[in-house]
Chain A
C-alpha cells in the first residue's frame, strides 16, 4: 500500500468554525508533512513531524494546530481561519525525513474554502 489518504476532499468553513483535516498512511513512514498550496504556486511547507515529534514549524499562525496521534495519522486542526487561508492542503509522508534522501508520497489534498 503506497497510498496517502486525506479527508475530507473538500471543506467549506466559516471564519468562526472549528474543523480538522485528516491524513493517514500505512507504509511505515516515520516522517509526515503538511503543506499549503495556493493556485498556480508551489507547495509551502507548514509542519514536519519526525517520529511523531514536531520538528519544523514554519512560523505558521496559531489558528493552524497540527497533531500526530501515532505514526500513521496526522491531523491539522483549524480554528478562526481567514479567507486568505483558502487553499489546497497537502499531506505527505516519507520513510525518514527527506534530507536523509527519502522521497515524499503525497495525498490528493483537501481543497479548503473559508467564507
Chain B
C-alpha cells in the first residue's frame, strides 16, 4: 500500500525555472528517498535524507525533511527538458519501503 501523498500531481514549467514537489507520509521513518522514473522504465535513485537530517543538496537537487510535520520537499533548480519524468518520494523503515503517489513533471523547452 502507498505511504503518503505527493503534490502537485502534475507540474508543468519552462526550462530554466525551478520545480518544487512535496511529499507527506504517515508513519515513522528511518530515511526518505526520492526517485525519478521516465515513462514506463525503471526508477533511478536521486537522493536520500536520513530522519535526523533536515536538508541535503546534490547538484541541482535540494531536499528538505520535516519529521514533525511528516513531510519532505524536492527542489530542482534550473530545470532542463531532460528533467521531464515522474518523481516519487519513498519512505524507508526497517525492511519496508513505501512510495508516494508521485508528481509528473513536464519541462518545456
Contacts and interface: CB of A to CB of B under 8 A. Distances in A.
Interface of A: 4, 31, 33, 41-45, 48, 50, 55-56, 58, 88, 90, 92, 97-101, 103-109, 111
A92 B33 CA distance: 14
B95 A97 contact: yes
Given A4-B42, A97-B92, A100-B30, 17 more contacts: A31-B95, A43-B43, A45-B96, A45-B98, A48-B95, A48-B97, A88-B40, A98-B33, A99-B30, A99-B31, A99-B93, A99-B97, A101-B92, A106-B35, A106-B42, A106-B43, A107-B42
A31 B97 CA distance: 12
Interface residues of B, number: 27
A105 B99 CA distance: 15
5 contacts: A41-B101, A99-B93, A101-B50, A104-B43, A109-B42
B104 to A, nearest CB: 8
